[in-house]
Structure 1
């Protein structure tokens, strides 16, 4: 689609359900109705932006869409968090500072230039929104109201951190500057455990959480760090970690249980520590190794190198028209894993068919065995009855009955 606005490349489009996609462009939010493509209905409309009924022109930091409640949550710089219905009606809005019962909540240490700084993260299971501000505070709000459930201050660690939603009642905070991962309880905001990892490549580095509840993140020290819900650590490295780095990803597989990770082999790498920070310097990448693994079990299901078999696959596809990098490669590998899942499903169907055939044979054998048992029981009962009659004959009961009949 060709739009009349310049897209914001830093914010990915968000799927809104019911055939809609929400897109940030020129400090506006466009709603794309892809079901209208090729019809007389408009394909793209301005959902939020400068104009009557909306805030004045300002920078949109991020948006999230609740497909369950048909609600769009928009974070506008220096304005606050806005909740809109899918039809454009404003439900509520809140700023990072809220006065309740005479006490100030949010931006406790600095009121100047304090605003929400992250994309609102939705927790459908708990009905909560998580968002951070520029002063290192993390908020938990209800999706239905403008009041805060709890606020945690992480400014003692750093003002910049990323938020990752768990699927086990946990919320994860990653502090790239200190190379720390913290697990929080979603109900209270209390820290359950804190673990150190290797140095990260970006200030917005974020891990992924799989369906087993394991959280995984790659490091410049060449290892993939995976933590269980209770904080147990597993480290993975397919290459020599001394000469390799992991600077992007990982990406979650469509199954939810496996992840895709890339490890880059370098011609040279040097690490040195300055105070609390570790700096990694590396030169001239030689090759990349893409791996699909399950952190909970440590099982590796697929591994290919680049240049190699992976590069030939992409050179033959439509992706050859794009400028490729690690993130794009991992994203498309994760997306194309549906084909792998389909083939696995076919193999699983074959196994089920074999098992079903064996199961039928077992059932027939059990029915045959049961029939034999019934026949044996009948024979035993007949034999017992026969021998009982023979004993009665030996005792003269027959003549006694004959005499009794004749006396009548």
Structure 2
């Protein structure tokens, strides 16, 4: 749906009211440009070569005479508390210092001047001011976008086409007749500038450098559209001919949502965004279309929509949460659609309904009608009766006077903080699809990475060892396989011998010696199969010192061992000097002990120590025997203790036989 409306102004109605209120008096009429409500509550507008500042009640605060004619379609632009900028003669940018008005120093000076051609090249299309960087941005027809300081120094310039990394960006379809054709707008929260070209492409630039953040092609909607910054993480595009409103993501330029609106009054009709993030735009069908930040639509009409139109952009109130709207009641309004276009026509206006409306809640704070006593007094008893007024001018004074507003006003900084706080950072999502499939894929990736890390580490250690650098890998692996087979065979044999020794009541020394030998051989194979040995990191380390007492030839005995260990001292007898054992009268049993070196096993008397010393002097080979016997003189028992190491621990097989009383 689209439109080609006829703009109906309130000027005719105001002219009739003034003529009847002052009969027989000659009245001079002056035309005012689009107004601007200042931070100080005043209304600023140009009239020919004068810049006027009005109080909110309609009286003139001051008039600044200029040597140039102001642009009627471009309102003045705020430049902070001290400065104001506006376009004059379509080729000059004037800077007005508000605090210097009435002093000897000139309060208005030319910041920029161009020389346009007969075809219009060089004319100023629009300007924008950033209070954050104190910069002025000017779009000059067919010449590009220029950034200046507040003193008129050129910072940088940019055109619609740029080559980055060998790729052309901008004006992809037609370079010859492509240039910036829109008024630049600034998002104060994002510190970004937005502008469009004649090909329907939208640009996002940094306010500090001519760097293109992104370019979005919107030519599928229309090549001509208006841009409105949301200051809430969104950028709004209104397409008059298609009656569409688009919401774009400021970080990427992607379209978040789009909504259908009614026909608009002009091609440059723009919406307004409040501090709640709601965007409002009026339509010729008599409705105010309001959209939430997520695209939820609300339609509002105070008067009968079938006989009314909304022609002008709403004004924000001083709080930033509500909007003032002007709904004009028409006589003989007719709407008809031909193809994609909607035509709206009317005879004349009958009156205007002004409303203070909160889009987020749908609340109506105030509503008034013109003609009426309140507005008739405002116009007739103020300086406004010297000017031709329309809905836009009257609505600006209604908003500046805070008519019907019960809320406390907020500063511009507070408004920006409220709207900027709505921006939510978004995390980039590199995976799309089923959540279960994503989790399984991540788990599979993790397993593969762990396996690869282990394999790389093994290979690095393997090839870095001199022990295996000159050997064949196949030979090395075959050797390890044969060692594993031998270890399994030893395990089976040792298990069988241990079970046999446990089941039999009597076990000879030969079986015990065989079992100890097998255990030692298995331990050697197990050490060779370990990672440190296989990769060449095995070293010959000195074995732990014996915990048994040693004889030094001088003293009786002493101990060697680690601290904090308890040591059991036994009498060691050789096989030759052992008394004969009476198997017929004795009783034998086998017990396995684990020597952890933590608790003492037995305490020996001084006589037993002396006996041990004498036996120890007999032969060094006897003390190294794998079978050691101990005699308990009190109980008359002979004990045989066989030590073995299994898995790094020390085990002992103890054979106890009860001797006869005669021995």
Specify if TM > 0.5: yes
- The answer as to 2:342 corresponding to 1:278 is yes
Please give the secondary structure, in 1, of the residue aligned with 2:350. strand
Please give the secondary structure, in 2, of the residue aligned with 1:163. strand
Partner of 1:327: 392
Partner of 2:380: 315
Please give the secondary structure, in 2, of the residue aligned with 1:63. strand
Cα-to-partner distance string for 1:127-167 (whole Å, 9 max, x where unaligned): 11001111111100011111211111111111110111113
Partner of 2:275: 211
Report the aligned-residue RMSD.
1.9
Where structure 2 has 5 or more consecutive residues not aligned to the other structure, the ranges are 1-63, 116-120, 410-663
Q: 1:186 and 1:49, CA in 2 relative to 1: closer, same or farther beyond 3 A?
A: same
Q: 1:165 aligns with which of 220, 226, 229?
A: 229
- The answer as to 2:71 corresponding to 1:5 is no
Structure index of larger Rg: 2
Q: 2:306 aligns with which of 225, 236, 242?
A: 242
On the 8 A contact 1:270/1:281 being kept in 2, the answer is: yes
Give, in whole Å, the separation in 2 of the partners of 1:159 and 1:38. 46
Give, in whole Å, the separation in 2 of the partners of 1:195 and 1:227. 8
Give, in whole Å, the separation in 2 of the partners of 1:37 and 1:291. 35
Please give the secondary structure, in 1, of the residue aligned with 2:347. strand
Partner of 1:371: none
Give, in whole Å, the separation in 1 of the partners of 2:84 and 2:135. 13
Please give the secondary structure, in 1, of the residue aligned with 2:397. helix
Offset of 1:340 from its aligned partner?
Answer: 5.2
On the 8 A contact 1:249/1:330 being kept in 2, the answer is: no
Cα-to-partner distance string for 1:102-141 (whole Å, 9 max, x where unaligned): 2111111111221111111111211110011111111000
Q: Which has the higher contact order (CA 8 A, sep 6+)?
A: 2
Give, in whole Å, the separation in 1 of the partners of 2:333 and 2:179. 39
Partner of 1:85: 149
Give, in whole Å, the separation in 1 of the partners of 2:303 and 2:354. 11
Partner of 1:223: 287
Please give the secondary structure, in 1, of the residue aligned with 2:346. strand
Partner of 1:370: none
Partner of 2:351: 287
Partner of 2:123: 59
On the 8 A contact 2:224/2:239 being kept in 1, the answer is: yes
Cα-to-partner distance string for 1:45-67 (whole Å, 9 max, x where unaligned): 2211149xxxxx92111111111
Give, in whole Å, the separation in 2 of the partners of 1:47 and 1:5. 13
- The answer as to 2:193 corresponding to 1:129 is yes
Partner of 1:351: none
Offset of 1:18 from its aligned partner?
Answer: 5.1
Please give the secondary structure, in 2, of the residue aligned with 1:257. coil
TM-score, normalization by structure 2? 0.50
On the 8 A contact 2:187/2:231 being kept in 1, the answer is: no
Please give the secondary structure, in 2, of the residue aligned with 1:17. coil
Q: 1:198 aligns with which of 258, 262, 284?
A: 262
Identify, as 1 or 2, the structure richer in strand: 1
Offset of 1:267 from its aligned partner?
Answer: 2.1
Where structure 1 has 5 or more consecutive residues not aligned to the other structure, the ranges are 52-56, 347-408
TM-score, normalization by structure 1? 0.80
Q: 1:344 and 1:96, CA in 2 relative to 1: closer, same or farther beyond 3 A?
A: closer
- The answer as to 2:159 corresponding to 1:95 is yes
Give, in whole Å, the separation in 1 of the partners of 2:336 and 2:265. 15
